[in-house]
Amino acid sequence: MSGQSDNHKGLLEAALFMSAEPLTVEGLGKIAGVNSLGYVKGMLLELRDEYQHRGIHLAETPQGWSFHADHAHIEKVAGLTPYADITEGQKRTLAIVAYKEPVQQSDVIRIQGNKSYAYIKTLMSKGLIRAERQGRSKMLSLTTEFERYFGGEKEKIREDLIRKMNSKLDQKNYEGDSESGKLNMSSEDNNC
């Protein structure tokens, strides 16, 4: 392999490492200053092969290419990242879905506002939630990718989310029980 090819591959590797979002072949070509998308794709395939038996791997998703922790190690390392690729609004939407699952999309919109449509779309594209049409709305629920992403079982993650949300409510000077805004785990609260 020529020095130029090594330089391009190293630049692609660095870009993928630094990016919190998947990168497209076109975007990577622009970063590397390469017009041939076939050449860029070839470099990506070589990188994917090189990382095949390591702790991280290079994966192609519908959104683009990105590095991921190997499935065998994800449970032990998932807690090291603050989920930088999910915005606070998306986290709130995800928490609502986790808390009330299954929940109608219209209820999430009612709770969080119209920005939730974009949050839901992004969370679906990341594979963290799924939607099934039910009447005029959609029924939202978590996926197995949610468990993989957060490194645990849905119920434990759900309890942690509720605990963190209640802690934030306490910080905002909310006092009292669920009437004041605190969440609880009773089955009657789990339905909309």
CB 133 within 8 A of CB 104: no
Instruction: Name the average pLDDT for the chain.
Output: 80
User: Phi-psi category of 135—alpha, beta or left, where left has phi over 0 and alpha has psi -120 to 50?
Assistant: left
DSSP state of 128: S
**Residue tagged 């017009």 (tokens):** 35
Distance of CA 75 to CAs 71, 127, 190, Å?
8, 18, 27
pLDDT average, residue stretch 140-161: 79
pLDDT average, residue stretch 160-189: 54
Q: In order of start, what are the domains of the chain with their CATH numbers?
A: 3-70 (1.10.10.10), 88-180 (1.10.10.10)
What is the C-alpha separation between 93 and 41, in angstroms, rounded?
35
Confidence bin at 83 (pLDDT 50/70/90): low
For residue 23, how many other CB atoms are within 10 A of its CB? 20
Query: Which of 23, 27, 31, 26 is CA-nearest to residue 7?
Result: 31
Confidence bin at 174 (pLDDT 50/70/90): very low
- 37-74, pLDDT tens digit by residue? 999 999 999 999 999 889 888 988 878 898 888 777 77
Q: Give the three-state DSSP class for 181.
A: coil
The pLDDT assigned to 37 comes to: 92
- 110-146, pLDDT tens digit by residue? 998 899 999 999 999 888 899 999 888 899 999 888 8
Confidence bin at 78 (pLDDT 50/70/90): low
What is the C-alpha separation between 91 and 160, in angstroms, rounded?
13
**Amino acid type, 113:** G
What is the C-alpha separation between 109 and 97, in angstroms, rounded?
11
Six-digit token string for 154: 């849905």
Pick the more confident residue, 116 or 178: 116
DSSP state of 176: S
Of all residues in the chain, what percent carry a pLDDT higher than 90? 28
